[in-house]
C-alpha cells in the first residue's frame, strides 16, 4: 500500500471552504484525476503532492496562494511541466497547476501578444501566424511559455531577436501576499522591480 503524503495539518472545514471557493478543481490523493494530474514530461519524476489545484484563472491562483500562506503549506508552480528536474511537482504540499490557463490575445498593431501561463509555444505561434507574426520561444513546440521564458528561453530566432526573456514586455505576478501586480519592462513604470525579479529568476 502506498502511503499518501498529506498537506501540513489544517482543519477539514478550511479545506472544504477552500474547495468550494475555487472555480477550478482541487484534486486530492485518491480522487479521480489525481494520478493523471501529477504526471509531468519527465516520467522518471514520481512525486505525490498533497493537493493539486488546476487553476482556471487568476482568482484561483490568488486563492491558492492565500490558502497556502494561511495554512503554511509548501507550494510548487506548474506551467506545462517540462522542467526536467521536475521542480513543478512537490512531494506533499500543494501544486498550483497553471496548465489549463490557455488564453491568448494577439494585438497585431502593437506586434505583441498577451498569453496565459498554460500556453505552449506551438499554441502561441499558431495564433501569431494568423497575423504574420512569430515569437522567439523554444525549439520544441510542446514546451510552456512560462518556465521557458523565466529560464531565458533559447530558440530558432535567438541570433536575430535574442532570448524569449529579452522580448518579455510585462508579466502579471501574484505575489506571496496574494496581490496581483503587473511587472513592466519600462523603467519608469510601477513594479519595474518585479520585472527585474523575473529576470533574476532565470
| Binding site residues, ligand FAD, CB under 6 A | 41, 76-84, 87-88, 98, 117, 138-140, 143-144, 146-148, 150-151, 153-155
Closest CB 79 distance from ligand FAD, rounded Å: 2
**Neighbour tally for 43: CB within 10 Å:** 8
Which CB atom, from 122 or from 140, has the smaller least distance to ligand FAD? 140
Min dist CB 159 to ligand FAD, Å, is 14
Phi and psi at 103, nearest 5°, equal -70, 140
Contact 185, 165 (CB under 8 A): no
Residue placing its CB nearer to ligand FAD in the complex, 14 or 180: 180
Least distance (Å) between residue 37 CB and ligand FAD? 13
Residue 77 or 106: the one with the smaller Cβ distance to ligand FAD is 77
**Judged by CB, which is closer to ligand FAD: 29, or 79?**
79
Radius of gyration of the chain from Cα atoms?
A: 18
Give CA–CA dist 126/171, Å, rounded.
Answer: 21
Query: Min. distance of Cβ 1 from ligand FAD in angstroms?
Result: 29
CA-to-CA dists, residue 127 to 53, 102, 114, 162, angstroms? 27, 12, 11, 21
Amino acid at each position: 500500500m502506498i502511503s499518501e503524503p498529506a498537506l501540513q495539518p489544517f482543519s477539514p472545514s478550511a479545506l472544504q471552504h477552500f474547495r468550494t471557493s475555487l472555480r477550478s478543481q482541487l484534486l486530492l490523493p485518491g480522487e479521480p484525476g489525481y494520478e493523471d494530474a501529477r504526471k509531468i514530461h519527465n516520467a522518471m519524476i514520481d512525486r505525490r503532492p498533497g493537493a493539486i489545484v488546476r487553476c482556471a484563472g487568476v482568482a484561483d491562483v490568488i486563492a491558492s496562494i492565500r490558502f497556502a500562506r494561511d495554512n503554511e503549506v509548501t507550494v510548487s508552480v506548474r506551467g506545462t511541466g517540462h522542467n526536467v528536474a521536475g521542480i513543478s511537482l512537490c512531494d506533499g504540499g500543494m501544486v498550483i497547476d497553471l496548465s489549463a490557463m490557455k488564453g491568448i490575445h494577439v494585438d497585431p498593431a502593437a506586434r505583441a501578444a498577451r498569453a496565459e501561463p498554460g500556453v505552449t509555444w506551438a499554441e502561441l505561434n499558431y495564433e501569431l501566424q494568423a497575423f504574420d507574426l512569430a515569437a522567439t520561444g523554444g525549439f520544441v513546440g510542446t514546451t510552456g511559455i512560462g518556465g521557458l521564458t523565466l529560464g531565458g528561453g533559447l530558440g530558432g530566432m535567438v541570433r536575430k531577436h535574442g532570448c524569449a526573456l529579452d522580448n518579455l514586455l510585462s508579466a502579471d505576478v501574484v505575489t506571496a501576499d496574494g496581490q496581483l501586480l503587473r511587472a513592466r519592462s519600462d523603467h519608469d513604470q510601477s513594479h519595474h522591480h518585479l520585472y527585474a525579479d523575473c529576470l533574476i529568476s532565470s
